Structure 1
Amino acid sequence: MCLLAYAGFLRFSELANLRRSDIQFSPTYLTLYLVKSKTDVYREGRDVVISKTGNITCPVDVVQRYLKLANIPEESNEFIFRSICYCKSLNIYKLRKSSHISYTRARELLLSALDSLGLDKKQFGLHSLRSGGATAAAEAGIDDRLFKKHGRWKSDKARDGYVKESILNRLSVSKNLGL
């Protein structure tokens, strides 16, 4: 959930409303079809593409493994992120058939993961994934047009609100003045 939100610059509502039928895999990437997005005022839907990286943290590989472990078939129209329940008779955990995961539960999972990594969970929230992905892309020098399209921002001002400049990038301004 975290890797997908980070790589796709997804808002919680976009992440929570993803259904299996909204995900298409290609050999080198996946496509998420966002049926509803805050910036999609005409409700046309938006595609977000996420590349395979070959790393252990590859969001495409992780999503494929998750769908397999969660036993969510390709033709399913179910939400991919849902609450789980324990089935005593089978001695296993299963995804509920109900609606998508709640904001509160998704936030609890994120904060628990951050806490286990030794990070101060008071400094983060679900929106940190969108902002973090955007900041990493900006620092990598991604073309502004592609950057804005990937994040589904209509204006540069909206996009820039998500990017947190590092001190090194900020110092580069005065460093490159030739003084």
Structure 2
Amino acid sequence: MSSSADSSSVLIGLDYESSLSAGAVLARYYLSKSVKVSSKQQYTRMYEIWTDFCQRNGVPEFGADHKQLAACLSLVMLEDGSYSKVVTLSAAIAHEYRIRMLQSPTTHETITLLFRGFRNEHPQTRGKNDQYSEGSERIVASNPDDKICPVKLTINYFLFLGPTYTGYMVPSCTPKKTPNPNKAAPYSGALSDMKKLMSTLGYDATLYGEHSGKRGGATAAVANGATGNQLKRLGGWRSDTMAAKYVDLSINSRISMSQLLQN
């Protein structure tokens, strides 16, 4: 059944209810549709870890505090050693609380610090951005004559943060426009700022997204002779398919292909 049909069936069932209760039920329905089907399936599998923990320890599934959540996440981290797994588990729990319009214990500052502890204690834990278990070290060539040299921009950024700064590498800003070391910049805010910057530089911001830099870099690398293996290592991909998704055909490549068809 389509989403529109599902929505209609919900509305039909609410004909005889008050507007407040009907709205609340409808809100929960739409909140349940706030994540993609693939993410929801993954959340469902991971959420079973939480329900099992609650049942074994007499913890209320919806009403747990940050201490109980921290205990669950820590046990999973110790048992599996997978940072990505505890991140997904936390997201699954947050989702279930959100669709019920409840305050989730995942938002407590203790949980934020807990994840920082996970990263510090398990720096070599392989995540989706570290498929070769190389940690966080990256080597980038410097081009001092280029105004947008990535090394120069990175150094300037760290100079802006200051030599005594400790906290998130990409922090959010305080109302006074200073870095807030205890809070990471949200995805939506970072994306919005990036689009504003592109507009300021005279580019069409609608053409740029979160992965534009990675896609552009992969495309440029291939155009300049990078091999498939080099591309996968630099991009952190293990599969040829994933690496290929980030490479757009250059103008020269398209012209060459067109010429081949004409011969």
**TM > 0.5 between the two?**
yes
Query: Displacement, 1:158?
Result: 0.8
How far apart, in 2, do the equivalents of 1:147 and 1:34 lie? 22
2:195 alignment partner in structure 1 = 111
For 1:28, the equivalent position in structure 2 comes to none
Aligned match of 2:222 in 134, 138, 151?
138
2:139 aligned counterpart, secondary structure? strand
| TM-score normalised by L of structure 1 | 0.66
Report the counterpart of residue 155 of structure 2 in structure 1. Answer: 64
> How many pairs does the alignment contain?
142
Q: 1:169 to 1:44 in 2, by over 3 A?
A: closer
Q: Structure 2 unaligned runs (5+)?
A: 1-115
User: CA separation in 2, counterparts of 1:48 and 1:146?
Assistant: 14
Tell me which residue corresponds to 2:173: 84
The 3-state SS of whatever aligns with 1:108 is: helix
Bigger relative contact order (CA 8 A; separation at least 6): 1
1:177 and 1:108 map into 2 onto residues whose CA distance is 42
In structure 2, the residue matched to 1:156 is 240
Cα shift at 1:160:
0.5
The one-letter code matched in structure 2 to 1:51 is A
Partner residue, 1:29: none
Asked if 1 retains the 8 angstrom alpha-carbon contact of 2:173 and 2:185, the reply is no
Find the counterpart in structure 2 of residue 38 from structure 1.
128
Q: Distance in 2 between matches of 1:134 and 1:44?
A: 19
Looking at structure 2, the residues matched to 62 and 36 of structure 1 have their Cα atoms a distance apart, in angstroms, of 27
Which residue among 185, 192, 210 is the counterpart of 1:101?
Answer: 185
Give the aligned residue type for 1:37. Answer: G
Alpha-carbon distance change, 43 to 50 in structure 1, aligned in 2, over 3 angstroms: closer
Tell which structure's C-alpha radius of gyration is larger: 2
Alignment CA distance shift 1:142-1:34 (3 Å):
farther
How much does 1:62 deviate?
1.5
In structure 1, the gaps of 5 or more residues are: 1-18, 23-32, 88-92
Give TM-score, length-normalised by structure 2.
0.47
Call closer, same or farther: CA 1:61–1:42 in 2, change over 3 Å: closer
Is the alpha carbon distance of 1:162 and 1:41 closer, same or farther for their aligned partners in structure 2, counting shifts above 3 Å? Answer: closer
Q: 1:127 to 1:42 in 2, by over 3 A?
A: closer
CA RMSD of aligned residues (A): 3.0
Decide whether aligned partners of structure 1 residues 69 and 84 sit closer, same or farther in structure 2, where only a CA change above 3 A counts.
same
User: Which residue identity lines up with residue 135 of structure 2 in the other structure?
Assistant: G
1:52 equivalent to 2:52? Answer no
Change (3 A) 1:41 1:149: closer
Letter in 2 for 1:67: F
The code of the aligned residue for 1:131 comes to R
CA distance, structure 2, for counterparts of residue 153 and residue 40 of structure 1? 8
Instruction: State the identity %.
Output: 27
Structure richer in strand, relative to its length:
1
Q: Deviations over 1:145-167 (max 9, x none)?
A: 22210001111111000111123
1:115-134 to 2 correspondence within 5 Å?
115-134=199-218
Which structure: greater helix fraction? 2
Instruction: Decide whether the 8 Å contact of 1:84 with 1:95 is kept in 2.
Output: yes
